[in-house]
Amino acid sequence: GLLYQEYRDKSTREEIETRRLQDSQTDPEGTSPSEETPSEAESTSTSENKAPPQINLLRNSNSRFNLWQDLPEVQNSGVLSILQPDEIKLQEAMFELVTSEASYYKSLNLLVSHFMENERLKKILHQSEAHILFSNVLDVMAVSERFLLDLEQRVEENIVISDVCDIVYQHTVNHFSVYITYVSNQTYQERTYKQLLQDKPAFREVISQLELDPKCKGLSFSSFLILPFQRITRLKLLVQNILKKVEEKSDRESTALDAHKELETVVKACNEGVRKMSRTEQMISIQKKLEFKIKSVPIISHSRWLLKQGELQQMNGPKTSRTLRTKKLFREIYLFLFNDLLVICRQIPGDKYQVFDSAPRGLLRVEELEDQGQSLANVFILRLLENADDREASYMLKASSQSEMKRWMISLAPNRRTKFVSFTSRLVDCPQIQCVHPYVAQQPDELSLELADVLNILDKTDDGWIFGERLHDQERGWFPSSMGEEILNPKIRAQNLKECFRVHKSDDSQRRKLGSRNRQ
């Protein structure tokens, strides 16, 4: 049996390759691109698929994860000759959700039995350290076990699976809050793990030895710790995959939409839990660095967080001055942009910043200067409709690169029209890209990417950055263009949009707002 990390990685790689194949087809008529996407269950080899399966995936962790149609019970029943191809694909999508949960449970069980309950590790860790490191993983595992048992029972009721999304819905509503608790602890978990590696050589040694055990298949301890967050996110995508295959306006569509909506709520709560922990500490740190030359503005607020910070060059003198070519034309300023406030500073000794102007974020406007020559390259105008002195103020600002200029402009004025309009405006076509290399965001305005993510390209720069909107959750942000491959086939792009609209059809009022939604 595969560990969930192997299982997930292999399935996403296959998804990427299948999409590449679809994209290279010059005439995809008669095919439905979404239906060609391989399931996670396809990750086993042909020779393995011929082996008799063990339906009871929970109690037999060595069982192979086969395609539903490869199960002897299915093949011997004759249903494959009766069912329509679309129904077979739906059966595969539902079976995939079950088998992937079995793989996930196996990996969770290894985290607990191999790492958490290791006697040497118990002696090294203080009780509080162990609590932060493993959090409520026992609760998470118990929820996964109960969930998997219910899924297995459904599979065993009939070789043709009636539905699984009703089970997903019930468990999400009644039990999946344990994921929010676990994931919200992630910031402290990561910090504690790094601190233990640094301060306790004995801990580092034991972890290294445990990772070398063949059971772990070369996977790191940290890859086991992040399993719950990966799973709850992936589960939402698996339900989306089912939703794309059920018949429209059917009971199964309604159930899948309900399950997806509840999972989306849990995933958002998980994300907010992680962000809240790190944001609070960040705001306290910024508050300590600021000294106000103007009337003081309280920085710390439970509803405020940092979107972007950094240095820009401010042009001295009137903005029409185009004859000066020396660096003295500009002086350095430092901006802190929050979700509701802009603070403009100058850096002073002692890692401090002196605030000389501010404005509500909603009263900011930006304007790009074009074809102004080298000295005014990457320059834009920032207007404060009402600044700290209750007056309108303008700043001519120069960024270090084209991408940095565009990133500032989009962050300062998020509702400003981008180069390519978002898919939520219901355009027939829009540039798209699929992620082929995972990316971890380095700045607040960047977007972390998972393998096989599909995004609409809203803007791009000449120096290798893309501003994108991910289709499955409408999260927006910047990422290097080298992380993805553009989808060139317009029919594939159209199919991706159609699927996305269908997934989010359960809340029309919310969907109408998506065009102006920004991840910030």
Distances (CA, A) of 263 to 170, 179, 422, 516: 11, 11, 24, 23
- Nearest Cα residue to 247 out of 94, 38, 86: 86
Which of 147-156, 258-267, 310-319 shows the lowest per-residue confidence on average (mean pLDDT)? Answer: 310-319
Measured distance CA(517)–CA(431) in Å, rounded = 19
Average pLDDT of span 378-405: 94
CA-CA-CA-CA torsion sign (73, 74, 75, 77): positive
The whole-chain average pLDDT of the chain stands at 85
How far apart CA 216 and CA 224 sit, in angstroms, is: 9
Residue at token pair 């601190």: 195
Give me the percent of the chain exceeding a pLDDT of 90: 65
Question: If we measure between CA atoms, which residue out of 168, 139, 142, 152 comes closest to residue 235?
Answer: 168
Which of 21-25, 326-330, 333-337, 354-358 has the weakest average pLDDT?
326-330
Round to whole Å and give the CA distance between 152 and 157: 9
Indicate if the pLDDT at residue 177 is higher than 60. yes
pLDDT bin (cut points 50, 70, 90) of residue 26 is low
7 or 38: which leads in pLDDT: 7
- Portion of the chain with pLDDT greater than 70, in percent: 83
Residue 53 DSSP class: P
pLDDT (mean) for 421-439: 74
Where do the domains of the chain lie, and which CATH numbers do they carry?
65-284 (1.20.900.10), 293-318+327-412 (2.30.29.30), 423-512 (2.30.30.40)
The residue length of the chain stands at: 520
* Confidence class for position 372, pLDDT limits 50, 70, 90: low
Task: Write the DSSP assignment of 196-225 as a string of letters.
Answer: HHHH-HHHHHHHHHHHHSGGGTT--HHHHH
3-state secondary structure 309-336: EEEEEEECCCCCCCCCCCHHHEEEEEEE
User: Does the structure show a pLDDT above 80 at 425?
Assistant: no
- Pairing status of strand 364-368 against strand 352-360: unpaired
pLDDT at position 63, please?
Answer: 46
Residue 500's pLDDT is: 86
Q: What is the pLDDT of residue 241?
A: 93
pLDDT of 78 above 50: yes
Confidence of residue 280 (pLDDT cuts 50, 70, 90): confident
Predicted local distance difference test score (pLDDT) of residue 62: 45
Answer with the residue of higher pLDDT: 67 or 254.
254
pTM: 0.78
Contacts of residue 320, Cβ cutoff 8 Å, sequence gap at least 6 = none
Q: Cβ–Cβ contacts within 10 Å for residue 180, how many? A: 21
Which range has the worst mean pLDDT, 103-112, 127-136, 364-373? 364-373
What pLDDT is attached to residue 418?
Answer: 64
CA distance 248 to 389: 57
